[in-house]
Amino acid sequence: MCNNKVASLAVSFLLLSCGLARATGSSMTPLKYQMSLSNENDDDYLSQKENVLEKSYHGLIRENETLVEITPLIKVDEEKICNFRILKKPYHEIPFQIELINNLGILKARRTLNCEKRKSYHFEIMATFCDGTHSATANVHITVIDINEYAPTFVQPSYVTEVDEGRLYKEIIRVEATDKDCTPLFGDVCKYEILNNDQPFIIDNEGSIKNTEPLSHKASHNHILSVVAYDCAMKESAPIMVSIKVRRVCDARFLGIPERIDYTASTTESLSLFPNARLELCDLYCGKQNLNIHTSVALKTKHISFGCDRDISNCSTGLSFIDLLPRNAEWTKDLSYDEGFEPVFHFDGSTGVIVPDALSFHHDFSTRSFSIVTIFRHSSMASGNKHTKEHIICSADDHKMNRHHMALFVRNCRLILLLRKNFNEGDLNIFSPAEWRWKIPHVCDNEWHHYALSVNQLSKVELYIDGVRFENSVEDRHNNPEVIDDWPLHAAHGVNTTLSVGACYQSSENRLKHGFNGDISQIKVSIDTILSAEDVRCGTNCAEHLLPPPESLLEAGSQVQANAQMNEIYIQGQSKSNVELLLQKIQYVNIKGYPTIGRRNIEVRTSMMCINQSSTRLPTIETYIMVNEPSQLVISEEGVADNSEMNVGEFKDKFKITTYTQKSSFITSRPSTVNDQGQHMQGEISSEEKAKIIISGNTNNLVSYPEIKRGVHILGNINITVVNANNKIMSNMQNLDSCSVIVFPSLNPDHEEIQVDSDESLSSTLDIKTNINKDGVEMIGSDAIENYLEVLKALLYSNKKPAYYLNRVFKLACTQLNSEFKSQEFTLTLTVLHPKLAPKTTTTTASIFGVAEHSPYGISGVNGGVGSTSFDNRLFAHAMMHSHDVQEPKVHVRSIIHKAESSHPTMLIILICAFLVIVLCGVSIARLKSNGLKYTDRQPCPKIADESLVWDDSALTITINPMQTDAVSEDSSNSENSESEDEEDRITLPTRTLSSGFFICCIRG
């Protein structure tokens, strides 16, 4: 019984548990689903908030507007979004506000912005939902667009400057304007303009003002210009005033100063330069006590080798120098050099020579006193690498190693002396001076300089440059020269040294390296002796200089001064006559035994003033001294040995020059052969050994206006050669050192010019340096004759105003052998053919051609036509044969045959006349037939006498060109009728009027 109850209770409990479990399971499933759905709705809501705005927006706003043009548009839903918010950053002003209008976020500026103060703004915005929540932030970049609100303004309120009258300037003054706008279009100045166009000035886009014609103080002493500036959008600035004052250049000048002064070599006599000088005063009047005159005379010799002639024959007589670059030595014969009394050796960085051991003796320079004297010229453009060494002299190991014991070289525009001690000289662990580095401008100025180095046994080094001892400045006293210490060289037994010039010997490579780029005249070394200051000065003093007037000629208030080089003399005085006298007594002297043949320029500058007045400069006078070769070479009493290959320098060392009354017309290049007994003799050189520089060609050139305006090759037909007395070409002397073309009178740069045709191609292939100025052309450089001819034939002379001149004279002279000798002057006369009125004449065409065929002048067409081939005085006036009046302007006369197409009214008149003639002939034929007159074939009709048939020609005239009848060339006619011809070239051609009283010739029909 009990068991049954227990079992029933267990079954009941089991059923109850199952029901409870079913009930519980059915209720949990909907709860889990409801929770999952709620989470998904929350995510969608948050995602919509994040994606309301774009990540970034870009906006543009103009300076004068407040509305921002935003890209892309800020689009939102107004049902969800109620507002926007700008996030401000600390210390940053955000002058913008945003509003929600029609589902769009509108950005506006609270005020107008300024691009010049700030060009862009960066900030963040967010959207505010209607429930108060915020969206994610978005970046906003706004750029302020510039507007052209500012006009350019000039840096200065006005400009004032002064210029000399009578000159053309490349730039007189430069004005400058700026613009405050922030963009290049509105903020850059792109143009300047002169408003008053009647002034002879122009201005470029950079603000540079220059004159277009020479100014005249008499015409206007002050030019006031109104100048404006434009930005790149052409907004104009306010005008400013530019005042250009014209300084009067006094017409006063020195007269009686010759254009050329000749000085004969081998004479030590002084030569008065200006014996006839006199001062012509202009309209500057003041009392004698108030007048002050300053005059300077300068001798210019920089173009000569080493800057001037130097005489070293009496210098350093007590010193024994070893010449490391002698002429015609075995080790220098392969070097390129200009031969002369003082030869110049050329080094290009890849050449050099080794001095023979017998001459150098393997000197140990570190243990002995020594001096080095050298003259060289070096350019800064010689090497592009500033660390490159360029050795002038070098002593290095002769084998095994590349140790440099002593060297003088150039590096980075510094002159460096290297002197290393050997291993047996003192302690190997002690430093001692090994390099001296001078930083001096002379090394790289491409000019000749004299350098002298003295080194004593205590390693005290002294440098002299052009005779002046180098003294460092206070600022550079510790580093100029820069002294570098180094250990002694390590021991190397059995190794000697090799001395080289122009490079340094590298024994490990068995070749020369670190070559010199430039020219070297001499290198001399003195062992165990050093140069004194007096020896150095003696070797650098110029042998040619000016001699001042004696002090006894000075009056009260006058003084004379000369510089240390004696190449400039200054005169100051109050008396006009005393200044003239002092100038007349200035002399030139050259004490060198064999002076360099050639030109020395002289410059005379003068200024004058009255007390309490501004100084007036007189025109600078430029003249020159021409040092000529001696008249004849004569054997000295010492005589010479027989040597047909002797060069000029050695020959001069043995011979002296004697001046004869009659000057030889050629140059002498080598001596005659004399006996080799060394006996005393004196005689003239054999004429067969004399050489002549022959310049040949056309000495007269006739040119017309168009030709001289386009440019004439003045020396296009010349030829230069060197021959002996028997007129046989000397092939080993076909080279020149210099040529000069002198123009007389000097060129007027306003309308005359000489230039080198194809200058770029010539300058890149030849070593001839050409200098063109108003006095002519100077060419310097050792080169072959054919190369000089190439440059000479390329000289192009042009004249824009040929009416001002009758002729031009060009004088050509060339030199050889380092300017020691000079050829005769070749004179070319350039004659301008001036147009002249053609007289009225009925000469037939055949007669004109007859004159052309028998013309005595070999002219091949002045203007390129047939008629211009005859030198007929009816067409041209020769500058040497006819008087010339003022040029008359040319009238455009049109030929009815050759130029009918250019004149339609003339052609119409001709056609009408022809038609009337035909009608008149027809009427006449009809009248004659009606009268029964009989004529034979081709019988001329008599002149019509019937007044009814006479043609009324009172209103008809035909104008023709008589030059057509006179057979003037078509080219000449075309040039006369050309509209592009200058007014000054035009001539008046007479016309003639033909009456229409015709004779009628009838042919029976």
Give the per-residue pLDDT at 908. Answer: 85
Report residue 612 as tokens.
Answer: 């309490």
For 336, 469, 720, 728, 765, the CA distances from 789, given in Å and listed in that order, are 22, 45, 7, 20, 14
Sign, Cα dihedral of 526, 532, 535, 541: positive
What is the distance between the alpha carbons of residues 575 and 290, in angstroms, rounded to a whole number? 10
Amino acid sitting at position 128: T
Report DSSP state, residue 542: B
Report pLDDT for 162: 94
> Any idea where the domains of the chain sit in the sequence?
56-145, 153-247, 320-530, 692-832, 900-994
Domain 320-530 has CATH 2.150.10.10: no
Residue tagged 């380092």 (tokens) = 818
Task: Give yes or no for a contact between 616 and 607, defined as CB atoms under 8 angstroms apart.
Answer: yes
Q: Which one-letter amino acid corresponds to residue 714? A: I
Q: What is the pLDDT of residue 818?
A: 58
In this predicted structure, what is the pLDDT of residue 537?
80
Give the β-pairing of 404-411 and 719-724: unpaired
**Domain 692-832 CATH assignment equals 2.60.40:** yes
Per DSSP, which regions of 715-858 are E strands?
Answer: 719-724, 735-744, 752-756, 769-773, 776-784, 795-799, 807-816, 821-822, 826-832, 834-835
Helix H or strand E encompassing 360 = helix 357-360
CATH number of 56-145: 2.60.40.60
Long-range CB contacts (within 8 A, 24+) of 920-924: 920/949, 920/951, 920/1000, 921/1000, 921/1002, 923/949, 924/949, 924/1000, 924/1002
Pairing of strands 222-231, 189-194: antiparallel
Q: What confidence score (pLDDT) does residue 188 get?
A: 92
CA 930 – CA 175 distance, rounded (Å): 92
Q: Which pLDDT score is estimated for 965?
A: 40
Token pair listed for 61: 């706003």
- How many other C-beta atoms are found inside a 10 Å radius of the C-beta of residue 931? 7
The reported pLDDT for the residue numbered 821 is 62
Whether 56-145 shares its CATH topology with 153-247 is answered: yes
Q: Which CATH superfamily is domain 153-247 in?
A: Cadherins (2.60.40.60)
Which of 546, 592, 590 is closest to 565 using CA atoms? 546
What pLDDT shows up at residue 422?
Answer: 78
Instruction: Using 50 as the pLDDT threshold, list the residues of the chain that sit under it.
Output: 1-3, 5-6, 11, 14-38, 632-688, 837-902, 933-1005
pLDDT score recorded for residue 565: 84
What's the confidence (pLDDT) of residue 50?
65
